[in-house]
Amino acid sequence: MAKKIRIIDTTLRDGSHAIRHTYSPEQAGKIAAALAKAGAPTIECGHGDGISGSSCQYGFMKYDEYEVLQAVLDNAGDAKVGILLLPGIGTVEDLKRAHEMGAGLVRVATHVTEADVGEQHIKMARELGMEAIGFLMMSHMEPPEKILEQAKKFESYGASAVYMADSAGAMVPDDAAARVSYLKEHLSLPVGFHAHNNLGLAIGNSLAAVNAGADYIDGTLRGLGAGAGNAPHEVLTAVFHKLGIETGEDLYAIMDAAEDNIPELGVQMIIDKYALSIGYAGVYSSFFLHAKRAADRYGLDARDILIELGRLRTVGGQEDMILDVAYRLAQQKKEK
């Protein structure tokens, strides 16, 4: 029997970072309809930092997040629509509202060592009858044994699957394979992998994860996402079909969804020197645009900011430290 992979499309969530959270309901509905036509099983949408992420710290959405969610729900066809929730940003009340609107999936995202902060959200999602997935961010920062410890917590809360997110795009294929295979050996749940492309390895790492036993893989149309973006959904589908791995998707229709929708957003994902620095330093990919703005403000090279953030082992949720680091580096520069 051929292996089957579930691709969770996060163009309308992680892709939001790349366009500064400006999806209109019309744009989001159009993309959701194209994904549904292609047979995409799951569509995640919302602010790049999850539900209620629209803020001065993470960047404001141009349109109301619930209007965007409604547009996706109205156009998703048979696809399951999901949200991302970061405890401390999104709340149980946000989760309930999304569920009432029709969202059937939540991925509860925590730092790789902090699964316990997601306990109430996983349990509430299951109580509501939603699919609830534990999502461990910055998984490159810890060894497989530590990741398993946290994954077991999600399992005990009732999670239906556990994801490892290479949020910095810092892994190489051996890293992805080692972590996935270790979780598959010791967990009874499906295991997912979320890649970023800062080192140009999003497809390679995703394939290594699948070969190691991953059940779910994330992708975005044209690789739209934070940093240098995510694994391109249409490329993943083509690679998997070429290898005889089932996705349940129409390859041409996924290609068309990417070709017909993403260029009009006016952004192209590339591995520039800043994105490469993120992957090299192991820094959260959504720090990308924040570091650029801080560098312009203080007359610095954004790479110095990113490398210092990596040295300090900063994690998602510490965006406020970007300005602190930039200010300190600027003061040091003046003193020289």
pLDDT at 2 over 80: no
Q: Rounded CA gap, 62 and 13, in Å?
A: 14
17 classed as catalytic = yes
Beta bridge partners of 246: 4
**290 labeled binding residue:** no
Per cent of the chain over pLDDT 90 is: 82
| Region label for 141, one of left (φ > 0), alpha (ψ between -120 and 50) or beta (otherwise) | alpha
Q: Between 78 and 335, whose confidence is greater?
A: 78
Using DSSP bridges, classify how beta strands 191-194 and 6-12 pair: parallel, antiparallel or unpaired: unpaired
As a whole number of angstroms, the distance between CA 206 and CA 227 comes to: 17
Angle between helices 302-311 and 287-298 (to 10 degrees): 120
Task: Please tell me the predicted confidence (pLDDT) of residue 314.
Answer: 83
Instruction: Give residue 149's pLDDT.
Output: 98
pLDDT score of 324: 87
Catalytic residue chosen out of the listed positions 17, 99, 111, 121: 17
pLDDT confidence band for 184 (50 / 70 / 90): very high
pTM for this predicted structure: 0.92
Task: Tell me the CATH architecture of domain 6-265.
Answer: Alpha-Beta Barrel (3.20)
Q: Does 140 belong to an annotated binding site? A: no
- Report d(CA 169, CA 166) in Å as an integer: 5
Which of the four pLDDT bands, split at 50, 70 and 90, describes residue 58? Answer: confident
pLDDT digits (tens, 9 = 90+) for 218-247: 999 999 999 999 999 999 999 999 999 999
Report residue 300 as tokens.
């610095």
The two domains 6-265 and 286-335 share their CATH topology (first three levels equal)? no
pLDDT of amino acid 1: 60
pLDDT of 255 above 80: yes
The pLDDT-based confidence of 336 (bands split at 50, 70, 90) is confident
Q: What is the mean pLDDT of the chain?
A: 94
| Domain covering 286-335 in this structure, CATH number | 1.10.8.60
**Looking up tokens 């994105």, which residue turns up?**
275
Mean pLDDT of 260-265: 95
Under a CB-based contact definition with an 8 Å cutoff, are residues 262 and 220 in contact? no
What is the arithmetic mean of pLDDT over 16-22? Answer: 95
Low-confidence winner among 81-85, 125-129, 213-217, 317-321 (lowest mean pLDDT): 317-321
Residues in the chain: 336
Give a three-class secondary structure readout of the chain: CCCECEEEEEEECCHHHHCCCCCCHHHHHHHHHHHHHCCCCEEEECCCCCCCCCECCCECCCCCHHHHHHHHHHHCCCCEEEEEECECCECHHHHHHHHHHCCCEEEEEEECCCHHHHHHHHHHHHHCCCEEEEEEECHHHCCHHHHHHHHHHHHHHCCCEEEEECCCCCCCHHHHHHHHHHHHHHCCCCEEEECECCCCCHHHHHHHHHHCCCCEEEEEHHHCCCCCCECEHHHHHHHHHHCCCECCCCHHHHHHHHHHHCHHHCCCCCCCHHHHHHHHHCCCCCHHHHHHHHHHHHCCCHHHHHHHHHHCCCCCCCCHHHHHHHHHHHHHHHHC
8 close to 216: Cβ distance less than 8 angstroms: yes
pLDDT digits (tens, 9 = 90+) for 302-332: 999 998 888 888 877 777 788 888 889 888 8
Predicted confidence at residue 208, as pLDDT, reads 98
For residue 172, pLDDT beyond 90: yes
Q: Is the pLDDT of residue 59 over 90?
A: no
* 215 among annotated binding-site residues: no
For residue 59, CA distances in Å to 80, 310, 320 come to 27, 22, 12
* Domain range summary for the chain, segments of one domain joined by +: 6-265, 286-335
CA–CA distance, 181 with 96 (Å, rounded to integer): 34
Q: Which of 69, 72, 71 is nearest to 47 (CA)?
A: 69
Lowest mean pLDDT: which of 65-74, 194-203, 281-290? Answer: 281-290
Tell me if 186 is assigned to a ligand binding site.
Answer: no
